[in-house]
Amino acid sequence: MAKLEPELQQDLAAMTTAAEPAAELGQSDVQGALEGNLAIPTMKNGVERAGRFAGIPMSSAHYGTATDCLAQAVYYEAALEPEQGRRAVAQVVLNRVRHPAYPNSVCGVVYQGWNQPVCQFSFTCDGALMRKPRADLWRNAKAIAREALAGHEVAEVGTATHYHADYVLPYWAYRLGKIAKVGRHIFYRFPGSPGRSASFYGRWAGREYKPAIDFARFRRDAAAELAASAVPEYTPGTTVTPDVKDRHAAADVGGRIDTTKEWRLTIPDPVQLSASYHSTLSGQGEVPAITISSSEQAQ
């Protein structure tokens, strides 16, 4: 196998399937991604068979765990995709199991980065596993996982090791070879020799391990996000934080109006003020002066 380019090798950990739900993206973002993805050319003669996967015997004590991990990837990544799209996701996982750039167990591939800020398959680190699977879709995912482990292949995705939804455009889409689109997922292989079938020679590790995810972490993160978005409760006090450069007494708010107090600033009606002034002068026996405008003087 030809080694991956150093820069690509360093970027592998960040090349995740994570994406914002389409419903939460703006129309312009989605349209831009769709157009950008169409502009990326599909590799000519880029599809090669990775070969049938037959590394885990059904008699193995680890077969059930491997099936469960693979079914989780199918369900949480592609439950609503067409059947061929679900099978394609399963093949990507098994392609990685046999590629030296990735762990050589099913659960190792699926849960790679699960305890890191960025994980390879987003459902393992974004709290999606807290949602209970829908029974019928889960049964289908398990069936597809068993068939994939038995050697079922999806010819059009060949040696694909990556995919993303068509409504997003990750930076790494330009770094790999685009080979197919199945459902809403676009599939990619490594460029050059690392993406050729000869590079998929790794053997299964012989054991499977599913990590114990700390779901309390997701609850804490959700609570913190909710608290950050909440409108702060009104607390009486100054509406403007005093500045150390302000020159004023300790009890003063620096010449700024404190609208949290009971009083409000009012400006008297000029007409009423004038009438009151004239009334006061009359009460004192004085005759208020009459102002004559310049136009009246002209007459």
How does pLDDT run across 238-257, given as a tens digit for each residue?
Answer: 555 656 565 555 555 555 55
Better-predicted residue by pLDDT, 275 or 43: 43
**Contact (CB, 8 A) for 53 and 197:** no
| pLDDT greater than 50 at residue 296 | no
Question: Total domain count for the chain?
Answer: 1
Whether 133 is covered by a domain: the verdict is yes
Whether 264 is covered by a domain: the verdict is no
Range of the domain at 85: 6-228
Whether 253 is covered by a domain: the verdict is no
d(CA 91, CA 155): 10
Tokens of 142: 């398990």
| pLDDT greater than 80 at residue 13 | yes
Whether 245 is covered by a domain: the verdict is no
Whether 156 is covered by a domain: the verdict is yes
| pLDDT greater than 60 at residue 237 | no
| Mean pLDDT, the chain, whole residue set | 83
Whether 136 is covered by a domain: the verdict is yes
| pLDDT greater than 50 at residue 86 | yes
* Region 141-148 average pLDDT: 97
* Residues 18-42: b if buried by 16+ CB within 10 A, e if exposed: bbeeeeebeeeebeebeeebeeeee
* Region 177-184 average pLDDT: 96
Whether 123 is covered by a domain: the verdict is yes
Tokens of 84: 């061929």
pTM over 0.85: no
Better-predicted residue by pLDDT, 106 or 279: 106
Q: What is residue 182's predicted lDDT score, i.e. its pLDDT?
A: 97
d(CA 127, CA 110): 15
Tokens of 136: 């019928």
Pairs from 154-157 (Cβ < 8 Å, separation ≥ 24): 154/84, 154/87, 154/88, 154/91, 154/182, 155/47, 155/49, 156/47, 156/84, 156/88, 156/180, 156/182, 157/47, 157/88, 157/91, 157/92, 157/182, 157/187
**Contact (CB, 8 A) for 199 and 1:** yes
Whether 293 is covered by a domain: the verdict is no
Q: What is the DSSP letter of 192?
A: S
